Amino acid sequence: MMRAMILTLACIFSLANIFGQAEKAKLKISHLTGDFHIYTTYNTYKESQAPANGMYLVTHDGVVMFDTPWDTTQFQPLLDSIKLKHNKMVVLCIATHWHNDKTAGLEYYRQQGIKTYTTALTDEFSKKNNMKRAEFLMAKDTVFNVGQYSFEAYYPGQGHTADNIVIWFEKEKILYGGCLIKGVDDEDLGYLGDANVTEYASTLKKVQKKCKNPKFIIIAHNDWKNINSLKHSLMMAKELKRKAAADFNKP
């Protein structure tokens, strides 16, 4: 009887320890489709832990990373996890706007010999706000060909920030929207301190026109599995514009 109780208690403590470790996990990697993977790190926002999703793509010529971890302790663990999982090195990293949940690791990855990219506009804001900067700058919409894959870094206009871009995989129909697109469970468009509330809706319409019939839409800070996130974000952006116009016209 005593032995059974001891074994039961040991099992309980063991499970508690496992669940405790799971709760403290700082890096999560999920398979999206084919060679595409979503990585998630966490940081504090409004006094609670918030997730930040990035993506990486495994190609014949190495791994391409889209945005960098929000948690600065996870720069190297992400590289290590990719190397262990795929036996390939990260060769390219593109950040989609200047906020530190996307750019924090740019300097670190440049020092590791990884080619880092942002738009020239993002670089202006990064420099102005003392954020990490990329080694290479895109002056216009740019098509990248890496290994067997081709994708475009596309600037649709101002929204979440003045410089936000999206990444579009035309063949695979994968839209990496970053912070510009919010989740279907979001009740608003999130942080608007650097946003253009009057242009947000038209910017999302341009994304819809450019990136037709996406099979996956990857967003930054919520569940990326729901394909209706772009439509939901556009609805919220239209309401935001309406409220802004109403406030402007108040006597």
pLDDT of amino acid 162: 98
**Helix or strand run (H / E) with residue 100:** helix 100-103
Report the chain's mean pLDDT, rounded to a whole number: 90
Question: Alpha-carbon distance 101 to 96, whole Å?
Answer: 10
> What average pLDDT does the segment 63-74 reach?
97
pTM (2 d.p.): 0.88
pLDDT band with cut points at 50, 70 and 90 for residue 193: very high
In the predicted model, is pLDDT for residue 248 greater than 60?
no
> What is the rounded average pLDDT of the residues 146-173?
98
Q: Using CA atoms in the order 41, 45, 50, 56, what is the torsion angle rounded to 10 degrees?
A: -40
- Ordered by start, the domain boundaries in the chain are 26-248
Mean pLDDT on 223-249? 89
**Cα–chain-centroid distance for residue 198?**
23
17 falls in which pLDDT band (50, 70, 90)?
A: very low
Convert the pLDDT of each residue in 112-155 to its tens digit. 999 999 999 999 999 999 999 999 999 999 999 999 999 999 99
Q: What is the pLDDT of residues 83-123, one digit of tens each?
A: 999 999 999 999 999 999 999 999 999 999 999 999 999 99
Quick: pLDDT tens for 196-215: 999 999 999 999 999 999 99
Tell me the fold of 26-248: Metallo-beta-lactamase; Chain A (3.60.15)
| Structure tokens given for 68 | 């960098």
pLDDT for the residue 24: 64
Q: How confident is the model at residue 247 (pLDDT cuts 50, 70, 90)?
A: low
Helices within 106-197 (DSSP H only)? 106-111, 120-128
Instruction: Please list, in sequence order, all residues whose beta carbon lies within 8 angstroms of the beta carbon of residue 79, skipping any fewer than 6 positions away.
Output: 89, 90, 112
